[in-house]
Chains A and B, each alone.
Chain A
């Protein structure tokens, strides 16, 4: 069964934790787009979801920092953040270890994916799940990318991971959805928190929509930090989506700068079922 759904959206903790801080108009646009994306995921009848998200010092430290890590647990606990902060109840999200193993096996031709049976989920996975699968009943394979501690995985490897995910999911019997949940420009937990570089964000999103590999690979770490802050490294998750959906279309459901969430709210549906 080919991949039945592929999308990208933000994971900023303010989306759930400080929801009311955005203006009513911003909330209408962003959460309306998320609701439409959720309807499309439900219409796609996905039986499992692969969620690609950055590391935030939740699972890994500099003692051992994998470029990519696949969660092959029977279930995953999260969110690690306090409920008053994130406003998402703690739960155990079901895992899909056989799918996780299949992904690692297919990817092995080009990538050495680390794997873990004990990945804990932070806002990077839980915010998109809360928006798309609020009952948390869909089996999930989390894939964590190091977007945090140098050296980071090259954008080319992120694209390659996307290609591998597509091949792995297409070869499975079950219906699988892919959600890539990275940030765009942001300066988390610094005095510049809330600052956005909207034109830069738009360029990234346009490159993803165009599946423009050369343009995505042209992003260099020093330029990313200067123009989009340390959080800008999280565009690696968007590059994964572009690699996974090469040759398909794409629809931008929302592009709404929301400084109160420290993010440009962007929601992309790559229309794999169209």
Chain B
């Protein structure tokens, strides 16, 4: 579990246009360079917002990523609600 590196990549994508360009054109290499576990890499690559939320990604890091993955706001909220129903609210601090 390397939540730190998952969140670090999302922080970078949210704030760094050059990283977003690389994400668009060279995603596999970018993910290979990051210190991620296979499940984390897969969740990021496929835009699996539910999996990212369940692993504890902070909502303020997750929401902009979800938007870029094409998830409309109501669908984003529904996705998180479904995770909470099955596995509870991730660390609310």
A residues with CB within 8 A of B: 56-58, 61-63, 80, 120, 148-150, 188-191, 193, 221, 225, 229-230
Contacts and interface: CB of A to CB of B under 8 A. Distances in A.
B77 interface: yes
Interface string B65-93: 00000000000011011001000010011
Given A57-B14, A149-B58, 20 more contacts: A56-B60, A57-B11, A57-B58, A57-B60, A61-B8, A62-B8, A80-B15, A150-B93, A188-B60, A189-B60, A190-B77, A190-B80, A191-B84, A193-B77, A221-B93, A225-B92, A225-B93, A229-B92, A230-B59, A230-B92
Given A190-B80, A221-B93, A230-B92, A61 B60 contact: no
Contacts, number: 44
B15 A58 contact: yes
A111 B62 CA distance: 32
Given A150-B93, A230-B92, A230-B93, A191 B11 contact: no
Given A188-B60, A189-B63, A61 B77 contact: no
Contacts of A56: 60
A80 B11 CA distance: 13
A189 B8 contact: no
Q: Mostly helix, strand, loop or mixed at chain B's interface?
A: helix
Nearest to B83: A191
A56 B58 CA distance: 11
24 contacts: A56-B60, A57-B11, A57-B14, A57-B15, A57-B60, A61-B7, A61-B8, A61-B11, A62-B4, A62-B8, A120-B15, A148-B58, A188-B60, A189-B59, A189-B60, A189-B62, A189-B63, A190-B77, A190-B89, A191-B84, A221-B93, A225-B92, A225-B93, A230-B93
Contacts of A229: 92
